[in-house]
């Protein structure tokens, strides 16, 4: 299937990815939480289904796409090494997968990366290179290093193998909750929502897929309004994993084809989502991972799944979010 001349990831691509990544990637649980709804006049509890990607090896959904791509590289490409540019979770996923395949890995990270994410990457033996504070800074550095050292770039989101890997989350949600009506997915560069929406809409078109991004990092909302990918001048949020300045061309095409809506949440709502997840579900989520929960708590819709996309959070920051 093509959208505006761009070839979209197929359901077969996603199903093949599910088989390819099975040995390394967890089938994460879908758990139901019922808890009081803040601001609800009815007194009825929120009943949310949580797709706990924070329980993955490496602490985030990113391992799905990284594993699907690295597993498909030729042996000589893996032996030469891989490189990526990442604010944290994708970098850790690439480091972890590369370690499992015996491949050298270089991770280009922003100078502002939380220490917990840098340490997570280094724990898997990867080399860390710091470059600026934007995704553009990181990409340019990674491309130059790849050229000089003969490394294969594993992009953070805008590649069909990455999107197909992330789409396996959507397959699992439909298998685990047959009555699901709405799925909320955090949006950064768009790889996860591209894959999840492609899987879900091709299997059950009636299920609504809603993207969630920080109000001060609403690049996908701006892109949808413009009808093409838009580059923001700057982004800001406590959700450090959702601060990409521009969606990918391929991820944007999937959003245009499959996603029902994109909504925004502010930092106060995101922090409240982190707190709610800890106190009501005993789940440790990073702000980026709690963004979908923040939007789902506001909507109060039945048969709703929120993807908790990651749990790599600085301990001191986490303590401030969950304080009663």
Numbers of helices and strands, H then E, in the chain: 13, 12
Which residues have a Cβ under 8 Å from the Cβ of 97 and sit 6 or more positions away? 24, 63, 66, 67, 70, 71
Q: Please return the burial class of 19, using the count of CB atoms within 10 Å of its CB with bins 0-12, 13-18 and 19+.
A: exposed
51 classed as catalytic: no
CA distance 90 to 50: 21
Catalytic member of 221, 237, 309, 320: 309
| DSSP state, residue 306 | E
Closest residue by Cα to residue 11 from 156, 167, 193:
167
| Tokens describing residue 235 | 């982004």
| Tokens describing residue 284 | 């440790």
237 classed as catalytic: no
Catalytic member of 51, 62, 117, 275: 62
CA distance 170 to 168: 5
Backbone angles phi, psi at 138, to 5 degrees: -65, -45
The sign of the dihedral angle between the CA atoms of 101, 157, 134, 243 is negative
How many C-beta atoms lie closer than 10 Å to residue 30's C-beta? 17
**Helix or strand holding residue 165 (H, E):** helix 160-176
According to DSSP, the residues that pair with 153 across neighbouring strands are: 83
CA distance 67 to 15: 14
Q: Please identify every residue annotated as catalytic.
A: 62, 309
């Amino acid at each position: 299937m093509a959208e505006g001349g761009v070839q979209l990831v197929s359901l077969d691509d996603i199903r093949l990815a599910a088989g390819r990544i099975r040995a390394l990637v967890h089938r994460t649980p879908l758990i139901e939480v019922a808890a009081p709804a803040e601001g609800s006049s009815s007194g009825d509890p929120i009943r949310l289904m949580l797709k706990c990607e924070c329980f993955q090896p490496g602490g985030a959904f990113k391992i799905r796409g990284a594993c699907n791509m690295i597993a498909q590289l030729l042996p000589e490409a893996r032996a030469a090494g891989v490189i990526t540019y990442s604010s944290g979770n994708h970098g850790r996923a690439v480091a972890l997968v590369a370690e499992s395949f015996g491949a050298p890995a270089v991770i280009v990270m922003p100078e502002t990366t939380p220490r917990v994410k840098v340490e997570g990457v280094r724990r898997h033996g990867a080399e860390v290179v710091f470059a600026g504070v934007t995704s553009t800074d990181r990409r340019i550095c990674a491309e130059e290093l790849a050229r000089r050292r003969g490394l294969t770039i594993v992009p953070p989101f805008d590649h069909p193998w990455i999107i197909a890997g992330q789409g396996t989350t959507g397959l699992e949600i439909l298998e685990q909750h047959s009555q699901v009506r709405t799925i909320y997915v955090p949006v950064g560069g768009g790889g996860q929502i591209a894959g999840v929406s492609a899987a879900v809409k091709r299997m059950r078109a009636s299920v609504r897929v809603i993207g969630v991004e920080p109000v001060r990092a609403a690049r996908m909302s701006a892109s949808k309004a413009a009808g093409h990918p838009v580059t923001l001048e700057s982004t800001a949020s406590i959700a450090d994993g959702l601060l990409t300045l521009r969606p990918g061309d391929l991820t944007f095409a999937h959003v245009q084809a499959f996603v029902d809506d994109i909504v925004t949440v502010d930092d106060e709502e995101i922090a409240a989502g982190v707190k709610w997840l800890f106190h009501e579900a005993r789940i440790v989520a990073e702000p980026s991972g709690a963004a979908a929960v923040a939007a789902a708590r506001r909507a109060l819709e039945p048969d709703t799944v929120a993807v908790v996309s990651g749990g790599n959070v600085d301990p001191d920051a986490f303590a401030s979010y969950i304080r009663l």
